[in-house]
Chains A and B, each alone.
Chain A
Amino acid sequence: MANDPTHQFLVNKIVPIEIGGIDFSFTNASLFMVATVAAAAGFLYFTTSRRGLVPGRMQSVSEMSYEFIASMLREGAGTQGMRFFPLVFSLFMFVLTANLIGMVPYFFTVTSQIIVTFALSMLVIGVVVFYGFYKHGFGFLKLFVPAGVPGALLPLVVSIEIISFLSRPISLSIRLFANMLAGHITLKVFAGFVTSLGALGAVGVAGAVLPLFMTVALVGLEFLVSFLQAYVFAVLTCMYLNDAVHPGGH
């Protein structure tokens, strides 16, 4: 089954834990969540420990990611949205690091599990709904009633707005999950071609060159996708948070 492209997504128990009949085992997924947090937090912590006035290379990377997310959030949700900066920054760094760690061969990709991406999406939408109602009360529902729509069309527009709002956590989670999953499966399939063709002898080795190039190209693409999906996740989070901060401002 070494060639099974879905084998890499299997969740295996490392330390079985069961509480109240529910399985809370420490699995390879948990291990890589810990690794993600350790890598991201460790990088950000140790590269900035010198607090250099003139940043070194690594400190620049940390500062750039900080300013990247800060400007993204400021553009997306305005100055009032900056209170969510720790959330957006954490989400971006977590997703990005998880995606990049997943690119290492034999490593588990945390974000290829739909429950993880869905939980992160629900966290975002939960914050949006909670903060929206907390800050604006029922005024938050203006989100579903765009200004300047004729009365006759209002029921239709409002129902569309509600459906689109409800589909947000789904689209947000599926986008990240499906991208990571599909990318890793494709990589595995093409890499599998290389070994199976190579086993066929001289002709097979010659034929394996093509999927090998494809695999190399796909690895590059997947690194791009890893960054891009983390970016998209963060941008959409900023947009949704903007709704919570300014529900009337479509």
Chain B
Amino acid sequence: MFVTPALAESTPFEIAQAETPAETHEAPADAQAVQPSGEVHTETGVAHGDEHADGVFPPFDQTTFASQLLWLAITFGLFYVLMSKVVIPRIGGILETRHDRIAQDLDEAARLKTEADDAIAAYEQDLAKARAEGNAIASAAREDAKAKAEAERARIEASLQEKIAGAETRIAEIKARALADVGAIAEETATAVVEQLIGVKATKTDIAAAVKSSGGK
């Protein structure tokens, strides 16, 4: 049973494996014997050289199994309850809230985007309308201006026509008057010419008839 510390240090695994089966039967007796020294050991924290003289590789020391199982059951059971009742619902809740919030934000963003699209469409529509109106106003103004210009031109042309007509009338008057004067002058000239040539003063009536007949040719 006794294993020297040196041997224990060199091959802990092999000893453990070799010793375990034999140890199984003797464990209770050994445990009783070893307990006091184990306690001292804990308190001082300093090894004394042949502390595990029973030679059991510590993890295979069956005297500790019952206590380890009990405390594992207590601690792990408590841990499981804490996890399943407190921590997991809480983290799950946090993640779900965040997930919902993100989904909500995405919906909101989609909604805002639709609104923005609508606004852009409305704006484009207004812009097109305004442009059409502008065009209409411009063309109306152009038409108006053209009509005015046309009217002005017509008025001026008419007045010119009037002036021309007046002038022509006056010319005709002057011409007629001149022509009339021509007859008188011709009569006077003819009277003078006849007097000079034949020394007879022709009658006014004859002269006028003669001038009239020659002038008519």
Contacts and interface: CB of A to CB of B under 8 A. Distances in A.
Interface of A: 1-7, 9-14, 16-17, 22-30, 33-34, 36-37, 40-41, 44-45, 48, 51-53, 55, 59, 62-63, 66-67, 85-87, 89-90, 93-94, 112-116, 119-120, 123, 177, 181, 185
Interface stretch (B66-74, B114-122, B184-192): B66-74
15 contacts: A3-B9, A9-B58, A24-B71, A27-B67, A28-B42, A29-B67, A33-B75, A34-B71, A37-B78, A55-B94, A67-B95, A90-B79, A115-B68, A177-B59, A181-B59
B64 A11 contact: yes
B71 A27 contact: yes
Contacts of A9: 57-59
Nearest to A45: B87
Contacts of A40: 79
B134 interface: no
A62 B41 CA distance: 38
Given A12-B38, A90-B80, A185 B72 contact: no
Given A11-B58, A33-B72, A2 B47 contact: yes
Interface of B: 5, 8-9, 12, 31, 35, 38-39, 41-42, 47-49, 51-52, 57-61, 63-73, 75-76, 78-80, 82-84, 86-88, 90-95, 97-98, 101
For the complex of A and B, 6 pairs with smallest distance between CB atoms: A1-B47, A86-B84, A30-B71, A12-B42, A9-B58, A33-B75
B65 A115 contact: yes
A11 B58 CA distance: 7
